[in-house]
Structure 1
Amino acid sequence: MTKRILVVDDSATMRELLMQYLRSGDYMVSGAENGVQALEILKTEQYDYIITDLLMPDMDGFALIRAISELDWDPGIILMTQQDERSLAAARELALAYSVNLLGTLAKPIDKDVLLNMLTEVAETRPKGRKSTETVLAETEFMRGLMTDGLSPVFQPKVDLRTRTVAGAEVFARWRSPSGGTLGAGAVVKAAREIGHMDVLTYRMLELAMEQQGKWRREGQEIALAVNVSSENLRKPDFADVVTSLAEQYEVEPKFIRLEVTESDLEVDTRVPLEVLSRLHVRGFGLALDDFGTGFASLMRLQTIPFDELVIDRLFLARAQENKVARTILETAVELAHKLELTCTCEGVETAEHLAMIKDLGADIAQGYFLGKPMSASEFLIWMEDARDGVLKVPGLND
């Protein structure tokens, strides 16, 4: 049966050229000029493969990856860009995090033979039709893996743009299945939500993060770690005591743990979360409002809850170079953070242009694949030492 392919690229010339290449390989081909148009097409039509550029207006390839992960079928994805290898590496990691079927990445200009060979030689790694996360992680497997070695933390560096030092790292989840496969943070969180155990996942990630932090401290390394906290945990009045107990167990100072809370986790009844977060604040734990700008209650949260860090949603940075409104929101958010005496962190720094922009706007902390990917504890320590010694040139740190 002839395979169907959707080509997504804002350049009409490049799009038509790729479609000609593919038609010569006997594929049925359609085109879209950006992610928004592609999603409209995907609402009514299914495709075997989607070939998409990363840098596009309105909705770029990174946002499209997230949207594809929510489809009820599992198309093969090929990513392409004129940007550097870091951008492709970031896209590969994002595809892993969202558990999409990534076939490969290509640098522009696209070689016709390379493209066609990739499509004909790719092995079918998964059956048609997206498996639900319940199939990938049944509840018994999930709970067993949490308590053994199924779950492991990875650490993405955070760079202080003012002092040009490593500010610490954010902790993400990785899942290793007995068959040798790997699930990224997005897939793990989705599975935990569907099974109904987000609170258990958060607790285990906190425990793993503090255990590693305690080891580093005994080795003479004081590394601040940011860990995401779910709404399920914030609705439990004893959560502050649980966090405090873990810190005492692993001999971790509260000031080296920052708990990141998203706006959406605070949109219902804030009474218990306010109590829990206030208790954590007075005990010395850091609090960050994550994904700032994605909801409508941001300013009220900043007024009522003692946050000390504002984490600006990555979408504003991704769009700020070409979208005046997004840049204005980004600039205003940085200014707001400083007026409220909060540390301002910008996530999603994927290019030199992103880094230059947030430096110009006065952001305090930068985080993203342009600076460093999520890595294991041993890899992070090597990365940090190499960066400090100048062996590894890290933009914003020792460039």
Structure 2
Amino acid sequence: MPPFAIADILIVEDSLLHSQLAASLCLELGASEVREARDGQAGLERMRERLPELLLLDLEMPRLDGVQVLQHMARDNLRVPVIVTSGKDYMLISAVEQMGRELGLPILGGLKKPLRKQDLVDLLRRRWGHDALSAQAEDLCSDTEIRLALDSGQIIPYYQPKVTLDNGRLKGAEMLARWNHPDKGIIPPSRFIPVMEACGWVTELTLLMLEQGLKQWQEWARHGIRIPLSVNLSALSLKGDTLVPEIEARLRASRVPARYTIFEITETAVADNLAEAIGIAARLRLSGFGLSIDDFGTGFATLQQLTRFPFTELKIDQSLVTSVCEKPHLEVILNSIIELAQRMQLSTVAEGIETVADLEFMGMRGCSMGQGYHIARPMDAPRFGDWVKQHLAAIQPAQPR
């Protein structure tokens, strides 16, 4: 059975030799149909005729180059998973990948030509079928449905463990919002978080996650499990005078020590309402909470944010973690990030650990913790409790006495 049952792949490549090689690899990997286009304009026409399930896009082409094709795709809402290919250096390929993501396109990654089967397999295995990717093609839920879900307690936390990379000790868990729909099952956050942001409900969501997390922490503590729980905090919540008192009130009611709660703020989101945002962050730290800078390495104001906000933890973005083994220039950036965090006495967490190679590589570079599918997928509370018991039993021999 082929590893990837992809029905329709479009290769946009001006070199006949490279196009034939790519087509041969795709057929080996299970593609039912492979179409080809010799330039960017022809590629766009093929997509308008019928959207493929996967696009392999070269960067250097006549008429329209790969950069222009991505810009047209975004403008015309041609949302196709894309693999960028080029004979140019990895820095250029990475820059185009980032541009495509900023345009809102589902960019799977980039590969250097000539394509190799194992590289293509590794990239598809990492990306194809991920929840975040498959959800991009789905419609957003209506605000009426989401309001009902909030009011009726259908939004629940899933828990993804964070472990040390040297010996696998459990160090915490991130709470990720999921919608437990009575008829449709679990709905991913990509279908409801944007609507909540537009409607001004994200602070309510944060407080709801916090309440459920604190209650769950009490339950786990009775069974000897005491770990920090991380709660996502939107930049849209970093304003006004009510957020910190509401958080503190919930903490007092639960009697959970503040050090067991970490608030994660995305790196690119903390620039608006700067004075208010810094004030809220400082008050949270004064109350004893941890503060994590999330998705580090994806924005342009990285160093400024680290100097402005009193962070205790730095989470290295998944796009950097999963690409560094394949793109040597990113290793320099990664080493600098980890060294910077160590000098600032910040804990480091690698997001998106998906393979043994990811785990070992990040550990060798000095990153202290990791989370990702290789360690464990996000789980509801009962399954997380079971996972913790199994995990502790598995690593017990390695624990120092």
TM-score class, shorter-chain normalisation, is: 0.7 to 0.9
Of 116, 133, 137, 2:142 maps to 137
Please report how far the alpha carbon of residue 237 of structure 1 lies from its aligned counterpart in structure 2 after TM superposition.
Answer: 2.3
Counterpart of 1:226 in 2: which secondary structure? strand
Q: Which runs of 5+ in 2 are unaligned?
A: 1-6, 13-17, 36-48, 60-65, 108-118
CA positional deviation for 1:95? 3.6
- Quote how far apart the aligned CAs of 1:342 are: 0.6
Q: Which amino acid is the alignment partner of residue 33 of structure 1?
A: L
Q: Give the TM-score, by structure 2 length.
A: 0.73
Alignment map for 1:259-338 (pairs within 5 Å):
259-338=263-342
1:22 matched to 2:45? The reply is no
Contact kept in structure 2, 1:55 and 1:81, CA below 8 Å: no
1:42 is matched with 73
The residue aligned with 2:130 is 92
- TM-score, normalised by the number of residues in structure 1: 0.74
Q: Are 1:175 and 1:184, in contact at CA under 8 Å, matched by a contact in 2?
A: yes
Query: Alpha carbons of 1:290 and 1:43: their partners in 2 closer, same or farther (altered >3 Å)?
Result: closer
> How much does 1:296 deviate?
2.4
Q: CA deviation at 1:335?
A: 0.7
Is 1:209 matched with 2:234? no
Identity %: 24
Q: How far off is 1:189 after superposition?
A: 1.4
1:376 is displaced (CA, Å) by: 0.6
Cα gap change, 1:23 to 1:274, in 2 (>3 Å):
closer
2:63 matched to which residue of 1? Answer: none
Match of 1:346 in 2: 350
Preserved contact between residue 235 and residue 272 of structure 1 (Cα < 8 Å): yes
Alignment-derived partner of residue 189 in structure 1: 193
SS of aligned partner of 2:130: helix
Shift in alpha-carbon separation, 1:154–1:338, aligned structure 2, 3 A: same
Structure 1: segments with no counterpart, 5+ residues: 71-79, 102-129
Separation of aligned partners in 2, 1:326 and 1:303: 23
Give the letter for the 2:33 counterpart: L
Tell me the residue number matched to 2:45: none
2:148 aligned partner, one-letter code: R
8 A Cα contact 1:5 1:47, kept in partner: no
Higher relative contact order (CA 8 A, sep 6+): 1
CA contact (8 A) 2:353 2:371 kept: yes
- Distance in 2 of aligned mates of 1:347 and 1:55: 25
1:76 maps to: none
**Is the contact made by 1:7 and 1:19 (CA closer than 8 Å) also made in structure 2?**
no
Which whole-Å deviations, capped at 9, do the CAs of 1:324-344 have from their partners, x for residues lacking one? 222211111011000111101
Deviation at 1:280, TM superposition (A): 1.1
The structure-2 alpha-carbon separation of the partners of 1:145 and 1:163, relative to structure 1 and needing over 3 Å to count, comes to same
Note the alpha carbon deviations across 1:222-256, whole angstroms, 9 max, x for none. 12111110112211223222111111122211111
Q: Kindly report which structure 2 residues correspond to 1:49-60, keeping only aligned pairs within 5 A, or say none.
A: 58=93
Q: Count the aligned residue pairs.
A: 345
Query: For structure 1, which segment, 314-323 or 380-389, has the greater mean C-alpha deviation from structure 2 after superposition?
Result: 314-323
Contact kept in structure 2, 1:8 and 1:51, CA below 8 Å? no
Q: Do the aligned residues in 2 keep the contact of 1:240 with 1:277 (CA within 8 Å)? A: no
**What letter is aligned with 2:142?**
L
Structure 1 residues 67, 8: CA separation in 2 closer, same or farther (over 3 Å shift)?
Answer: farther
CA gap of 1:8–1:197, structure 2 versus 1, over 3 A, is farther
Q: Tell me how far apart the structure 1 counterparts of residues 30 and 71 of structure 2 sit (CA, whole Å).
A: 19
Q: Does 1:33 align with 2:56?
A: yes
Q: CA RMSD in A?
A: 3.9
Question: AA paired with 1:42?
Answer: M
